[in-house]
Amino acid sequence: MNHSKLAEILDTAAETSQAVPQLTLENNISEKDAYKIQNLSIKRRIERGEKLVGIKLGFTSKAKMEQMGVHDLIWGKLTDKMLINRDSSINIKKYIHPRAEPEVCFLVKKTIDKELKTIEEAKEYIAGYTVAIEIIDSRYQDFKFSLEDVIADNCSSAGLVIGPWNPIEEDLENLKVTLEVDGEKVQEGNTSAILGNPWNALFDATRLAMAAGEKIRYSSYIMAGAATSAVYIKPGQQIKASIEKLGEVEFGVRELV
C-alpha cells in the first residue's frame, strides 16, 4: 500500500474542500496503516508551515459512537491553521460539510512525557480547562467512514474554538453541556458522558501519545471528545457551546467567496 499517496488524497481533499470516496472501499487498511497515513498527512501540513498546537480524542462518548457507527477511541492532531478566534466567523466555503460539537479542552503547562493516571498527578502538567467547540469536517463523501478511514483522515479535525481558561478548581464530572444554534438549544449532554469524566480522556490522551513515542508539549491543547452528537452548521448561524461552571464560547458561520 502506498501510504503517502493515500495521505495526499486526504490532504488535497481538505485543502480543496472536495470530498473523496472512503479509502477502505479500495484499500485494505489496518488501524496501524491508518495512523501511518494520518501522520503522513500531518507531515504535509507541517511542510506547508502549519504548527502543531495539540491533540484531540474522538469517540469518547456513546452519543458520538452511536451517531457515527464506530466503537473505539481514536486520536488525531491539531494545527494552528485549525484555530478559530472565539466570537469571530468562519467562512463555510473553506469546509466540505462542517459539523460542530461541544467539548472540554485542557491546556498543558508542562511537557507531558509519561502516562498520567490521576488528577493529582495531572495537576503538575495541566494549567486549566474550558469549554470548546470542535468543527469536524470529514473528507469523505456523505460524512461516512469506517474506523480506519476516520483515523487516516486525522479524525475529521477541521477547527477549534476555545473558551476562556478556568483554573483547576471545579470537578469536571457531571456538568451540563449544551450546544445552541441561534439561541436555540440543539444538543444537551453531560461531561460524565465523556468516559465517565473528561479527566479520563486526558489520561487516555497521554497513554496514546506515549504508546506512539510522542510527548505532549507544554502549551498544547487536548480536546477530550464531544459529549453530544455533532450538528451540521449553515451560513448565517451563530453557534454557542456552554458547560456548567466552565463558561461558554461561540462563533458565527458566514458564506464568503
**Contact positions vs ligand OOG (CB under 6 A):** 58-59, 64, 68, 101, 134, 136, 138, 150, 155-156, 225-226
The one of Mg ion, ligand OOG, none whose footprint includes residue 138, by CB under 5 to 8 A per kind, is ligand OOG
Least separation in angstroms between CB 227 and ligand OOG: 9
CB contact at 8 A, 216 and 154? no
Q: Give the range of 74-82, 109-117, 177-185, 224-232 binding Mg ion by CB under 5 A.
A: 224-232
Least separation in angstroms between CB 177 and Mg ion: 12
Nearer to ligand OOG, 81 or 109 (CB): 81
The one of ligand OOG, Mg ion, none whose footprint includes residue 78, by CB under 5 to 8 A per kind, is none
Nearer to ligand OOG, 218 or 232 (CB): 232
Of 212, 205, 221, residue with least CA distance to 116:
205
Interaction between residue 226 and Mg ion (CB under 5 A): yes
Interaction between residue 160 and Mg ion (CB under 5 A): no
Nearer to ligand OOG, 114 or 233 (CB): 233
Interaction between residue 11 and Mg ion (CB under 5 A): no
How many whole angstroms separate alpha carbon 57 and alpha carbon 42?
Answer: 16
Least separation in angstroms between CB 124 and Mg ion: 26
Degrees, nearest 5: CA angle 119-38-189: 45
Question: Which grid cell is 66?
Answer: 452511536
Least separation in angstroms between CB 124 and ligand OOG: 26
User: CB-based burial of residue 121 (10 Å sphere; 0-12 exposed, 13-18 middle, 19+ buried)?
Assistant: middle
* Interaction mask 111-150, Mg ion, x per CB under 5 A: -----------------------x----------------
Helix pair 31-47, 3-16: axis angle to 10 deg: 60
Residues at the interface with Mg ion (CB under 5 A): 134, 226
